[in-house]
């Protein structure tokens, strides 16, 4: 997806906020019931989950975007997505719908460092995440084209 123009995105909630994930980067929505904890220094990393016989890191999207600690329990919903050449499972509060809307640049004065742009929905701005840039942050620069 380019930074602006028509876009289909999966509307998810993370930390009580609406976020858009470009559907061309979303592989599937998964159940996180079988998340296995792993040692890490990153507060956002929950552990790993087996998806189609592959272990994929699970990260809490709200913690990545706004900091703080992960909630005490792992949520039920994960979004398996491409973050460059890597796969990551984003723990979200919920996945609502696939929407098709116009995406515009982030307005001046807004701080949305991980957003490719924003969509307007019900009078509010929905940031559309740049999963490739997020992957570089999460996976230590191993994301690629």
pLDDT score, position 143: 35
Residues of the chain with pLDDT > 90, as a percent, come to 52
Q: How does the average pLDDT of the chain come out, rounded?
A: 87
CATH of domain 5-138: 2.40.50.180
Provide the residue ranges of all domains of the chain, joining segments of one domain with +: 5-138
Query: Residues 6 or more apart from 41 whose CB is under 8 A from it?
Result: none
Among 9-13, 83-87, 103-107, whose mean pLDDT is lowest?
83-87
Whether the CB-CB separation of 126 and 20 falls below 8 Å is answered with yes
- Buried b / exposed e along 121-141 (16+ C-beta atoms within 10 A): eeeebbbbbbbbbbbbbbbee
| pLDDT-based confidence at residue 40 (cuts at 50, 70, 90) | confident
The SS3 assignment for 43 reads coil
pLDDT score, position 141: 45
pLDDT score, position 110: 80
| pLDDT-based confidence at residue 144 (cuts at 50, 70, 90) | very low
Whether the CB-CB separation of 58 and 89 falls below 8 Å is answered with yes
pLDDT score, position 56: 94
Q: Residue 89 corresponds to which tokens in the numbers above?
A: 């499972």
Q: How far apart are CA 58 and CA 38, in angstroms?
A: 10
Among 75-79, 113-117, 118-122, 128-132, whose mean pLDDT is lowest?
113-117
Whether the CB-CB separation of 86 and 46 falls below 8 Å is answered with no
**Beta-bridge mates of residue 127:** 118
Whether the CB-CB separation of 118 and 128 falls below 8 Å is answered with yes
- Rounded mean pLDDT of 6-14? 93
**65 pLDDT more than 80:** yes
């Amino acid at each position: 997806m380019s930074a602006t123009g028509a876009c289909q995105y999966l509307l998810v909630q993370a930390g009580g906020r609406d976020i858009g994930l470009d559907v061309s980067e979303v592989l599937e929505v998964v159940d996180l019931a079988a998340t296995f904890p792993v040692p890490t220094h990153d507060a956002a990393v929950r552990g790993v989950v087996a998806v189609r016989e592959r272990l994929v890191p699970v990260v809490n999207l709200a913690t990545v975007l706004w900091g703080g600690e992960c909630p005490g329990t792992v949520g039920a919903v994960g979004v398996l997505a491409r973050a460059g050449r890597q796969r990551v499972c984003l723990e979200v509060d919920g996945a609502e719908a696939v929407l098709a809307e116009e995406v515009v640049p982030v307005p001046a004065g807004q701080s949305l460092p991980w957003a490719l742009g924003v969509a307007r929905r019900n009078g509010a701005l929905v940031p559309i995440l740049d999963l490739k840039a997020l992957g570089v942050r999460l996976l230590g620069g191993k994301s690629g084209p």
